[in-house]
Structure 1
Amino acid sequence: MPQVESYDGSKDPLDHLESFKTLMHLQGVADEIMYKAFPTTLKGPARVWFSKLTPNSISTFKELSTQFALHFIGGHRYKKSTTCLISIKQREDETLRPCKACFNKEALSIDEADNKVLVAAFTNGLQKGKFLFSLYKNDPKTMSDVLYKATKYMNAENALLACKEKPKKRERLEEARQERGRKIARTGDRREDR
């Protein structure tokens, strides 16, 4: 039997049902088999719920799905509106990478977000600087264009940081070498005093 992640009641029940049904339909499994196989994907509180169902009270997978979804609906993730994206702002001390990651995470929870709204919300939350200037200058039309430009900018940021870090690393290595030399000289001086 195809493997589906076990459901314990803490996540979205509709997501679990859809994953299970998709996998079963890909295998050409009939509803009668799905009805019998579904309990094998449950664990913990979800398995306890299933074991407490009155025997023979449910006879089809559709009925089982409905009862399952109704019981565990508290774990359902509701889609958010695009207004939640407006509150995402890049902090002054924050690089672009964590800001972009936060925005993407929230954007994924929105059902059918419009590209123009996504672009406007993202650019509105950015700190003033070279990247924001380049976005306004080039006027990207889609969020994928913005994300592509953001990735290029972040890669350039990382390269510049690495260039700055190399001299600092060399300086630290040189200081450590000099300190070792001083320690050796001090211990050597003590040996001569004996």
Structure 2
Amino acid sequence: MHLQGALDEIMCRAFPTTLKGPMRVWFSKLTPNTVSTFKELNGHYVTHFIGGQRHRRSSRAILNIMQREDESLKSYVTRFNKEALLINEADDKVLITAFTSGLKRRELLFSIYKNDPNMMAEALYKAKKYMNADDAMIAGGDGQRKRERQDDPSPN
């Protein structure tokens, strides 16, 4: 509309027809006759919705994520990915380094670096294969036998 040279009054009246959900609710709560130009309306809109966005973190924050002693690989991967989404412009090499630095499972670490991944997706694919293997062993009863051996203090 702006490119077509529409008047401010027309743009202001047409603007609410493009809104849905929370944006429509916000617009309906504006005090009548407080906005006189489309530029003002646009400024209110941007200020309200940009201000509500969450602050992104630097990649430094992800370097402190470590797998806890009692934490499953699946739980660690989920927690790591959730934090990685908060990172502003996360580089794959930084993500891989942070992910592997926090791992407790050395055999997975070896497997990841054996293939020297360039993308975080490759490291996560390896982790997923390990999680699937764990699930299969538990379903087959090997997980229970492994836990029994760990609990048994007598040497075999």
Moved more, 83-92 or 73-82: 73-82
**Unmatched runs of 5 consecutive residues or more in structure 2:** 1-10, 146-156
Cα pair 1:85 1:106 within 8 Å, conserved: yes
Please say if residues 39 and 50 of structure 1, whose CA atoms lie closer than 8 Å, have aligned partners that are also in contact.
Answer: no
Distance 2:36 2:132 in 1: 56
Matched, 1:78 2:58: no
Q: Which residue of 2 aligns with 1:104?
A: 81
Change in 2 beyond 3 A, CA 1:126/1:32: same
Q: Is 1:150 paired with 2:127?
A: yes
Aligned residues: 136
> If you compute each CA radius of gyration, which structure gives the higher value, 1 or 2?
1
Let me know the Cα RMSD of the aligned residues: 3.1
Q: Give the structure 1 partner of residue 92 of structure 2.
A: 115
Question: Deviation above 4 Å: which 4+ runs of structure 1?
Answer: 31-34, 165-168
Aligned-pair CA distance for 1:50: 4.1
Aligned to 1:36: 16
TM-score norm. by structure 1 comes to: 0.58
Identical amino acids, percent of aligned pairs: 41
Q: 1:36 to 1:58 in 2, by over 3 A?
A: farther
What TM-score does the superposition give when structure 2 sets the normalisation length?
A: 0.71
Describe the SS at the equivalent of 2:103: coil
Can you give the 5+ residue segments of structure 1 that lack an aligned partner in the other structure?
1-30, 169-194
- Spell out the pairing of 1:119-138 with structure 2 (5 A cutoff): 119-138=96-115
Alignment partner of 2:41 out of 52, 59, 64:
64
- Quickly say closer, same or farther: Cα 1:65–1:88, change in 2 above 3 A: farther
Cα distance in 2 for residues equivalent to 1:80 and 1:160: 38
Deviation at 1:150, TM superposition (A): 0.9
Alignment correspondent of 1:55: 33
Cα separation, partners in 2 of 1:83 and 1:58, compared to 1, 3 Å: farther
User: Residue 22 of structure 1 aligns with which residue?
Assistant: none
Instruction: Give, in whole Å, the separation in 1 of the partners of 2:52 and 2:138.
Output: 42
